[in-house]
Structure 1
Amino acid sequence: MSCIFCTINEITLENNLAMAFFDKFPVTNGHLLIIPKRHVEHYFDLTSEEKQAMDDLLLQGKELLDHQFNPDGYNIGINNGEAAGQTIFHVHVHLIPRYKGDMTEPRGGVRGVIPEKRIY
């Protein structure tokens, strides 16, 4: 089975080991995905150099989105493994711009992966 991320050609940012592109099914305007160029299924299998390259693009992506979309905040997340919701098994970091009013009560942020635990 081929990997959809291994054949991506609409690259927004890149360096030697990683690349970033806009999500085809964005949660909000400007939703970016950052991936290693090497096919790796899980975050914990990345090399230190790949993690650093992805982190560099995460920071560049934030700067790009700040200028292009002017969000009020960000969520950063990785679904690691099927039980965590991963559906494409090429590790990817979501950089999701957030905007005031994009949901009624944003408190709890990423804790919303288990809805009844989001508000504490």
Structure 2
Amino acid sequence: MLSNAACYAIFDLSPVAEGHMLIIPKRHAPTFFDLTAQERRDMNDLILRCKDRLDKSLMPGGYNIGLNCGVVAGQSVPHCHCHLIPRYQGDVQDPRGGVRGVIPDRQQY
């Protein structure tokens, strides 16, 4: 587990890809928008540290970084957490549009 003053990182218990990690603030905050500036900096620091670790161990070809803020945006856990999802060549048929896929009819442009 990686951590810093405000956040910690763990592997997701239901990963969508090998190496899927969660970066979680230690202080309760419902969404990313409720974090302090320092907590956001610490979250960003851990995203980069986790990426470095995953680059060395799994060598993914890319990443998706995601935050679900609010129930209508898909948030199911009422505590801020950032998903760092490694992506691998061929893991989906057509990766174009990436996170735009949260609204499937708008993914391709």
TM-score range, shorter chain: over 0.9
Q: Does 1:97 align with 2:86?
A: yes
d(CA) in 2 for partners of 1:103, 1:91:
27
* 1:27 partner SS: coil
**What is the match of residue 56 of structure 2?**
67
d(CA) in 1 for partners of 2:31, 2:47:
17
The number of residues matched between the two structures is: 109
* 1:77 partner SS: strand
Deviation at residue 68 of structure 1 after TM alignment? 1.0
Deviation at residue 81 of structure 1 after TM alignment? 0.3
d(CA) in 2 for partners of 1:52, 1:34:
12
Q: Does 1:58 align with 2:47?
A: yes
* 1:49-90, Cα deviation, whole Å (9 max, x unpaired): 000011000000000000111000000010000000000011
Which of 96, 103, 108 aligns to 1:114? It is 103
TM-score (norm: length of structure 1): 0.90
Q: Does 1:25 align with 2:14?
A: yes
Q: What stretches of structure 1 move > 6 A for 4+ residues in a row?
A: none
Taking only aligned residues, the RMSD between alpha carbons, in angstroms, comes to 0.5
Q: Does 1:77 align with 2:66?
A: yes
Unpaired stretches in structure 2, ≥5 consecutive residues = none
% identity of equivalent residues? 55
Unpaired stretches in structure 1, ≥5 consecutive residues = 1-11
**What is the match of residue 6 of structure 1?**
none
